[in-house]
Amino acid sequence: MIESKTGRPVKITITYIALFVIACVSLFPITWMIDSSFKGANELFTNPPTFAIAKFSFVNYAKILFDSQVPRTYLNSIVISFCATLFTLFCAILAGYGLSRYKFRGSNTLAIALLYGQMMPACVIIIPLYLAFSRIGLIDTYLSLILPDMAITIPLATLMLRAFFNSVPRELEQAARIDGCNALQSLVRIVLPISSSGLVAVGVYTFLTTWEEFLFALNLTDSISARTVPIAINMLRGEYYVDWGAIMAAGVLAALPTILIFLLCNKYFIKGLAEGSVKG
């Protein structure tokens, strides 16, 4: 049945209106957070609340940068997130390539079994992890957060890269073998450059997952030496008072790296997710 020419503009208009409404609803919390971070205490607690800012104030940012633990935890989060991302990419590349190129009995079952690691809630493994790390002295260290984060991100990263590697023609690797490349050289010189969008997608996914992780950081750290940004923001809430202005300012600063990375890698990230979901 041929769609009428008069009905198509109406559907397009309705679609754009719906997308506009969804975008406004999604962006409102972020916009309110940024707006509140520039308000003083008196203006922040006005009733009814207003979106307009009568007088811009940077007192909340000064409090976060100079009178809180957020700057040190910021550094901790950067180190932990980047290390977890690099190690996850390394392990997922090798595992994904092995599952893609070397077929053996139970290889498909093993690939599907990786989903169980992705679906397992973090609260199930937090107690065994705490007991194990406390016995070997890893509590309150970077490794106590990097290793659990890798356990959460590697399964999906492996499946995504396996899908990309399946899409790479094996004839290219065979030609490289004829030219004298071994399996590792073929992976580095042929497969990885072709799968660059998949690597970016996995890297962005891993970094975002690690950056916002809360449960492991809350239970496996005891001091400022290893705490991350989400824990520092949580500590701004007291028993009888919540410093909403400082929390909003800290939230804006915590969101900056993720927004910057997503803006820089947006094209490759969307392409990687789309291609990785249909290939393999």
pLDDT digits (tens, 9 = 90+) for 114-137: 777 677 788 888 899 999 999 998
Domain boundaries 60-278, corresponding CATH code: 1.10.3720.10
pLDDT-based confidence at residue 36 (cuts at 50, 70, 90): confident
Mean predicted lDDT score pLDDT of the chain: 84
Report field, pTM of the whole predicted structure over 0.85 = no
* Residue range 254-272: mean pLDDT, rounded: 76
Who has greater pLDDT, 205 or 105? Answer: 205
Is residue 82 predicted with pLDDT exceeding 60? yes
Rounded CA separation 99/81 (Å): 26
Who has greater pLDDT, 194 or 273? Answer: 194
Tokens of 198: 């998949």
Cα 274-261-280 angle, rounded to 5 deg: 20
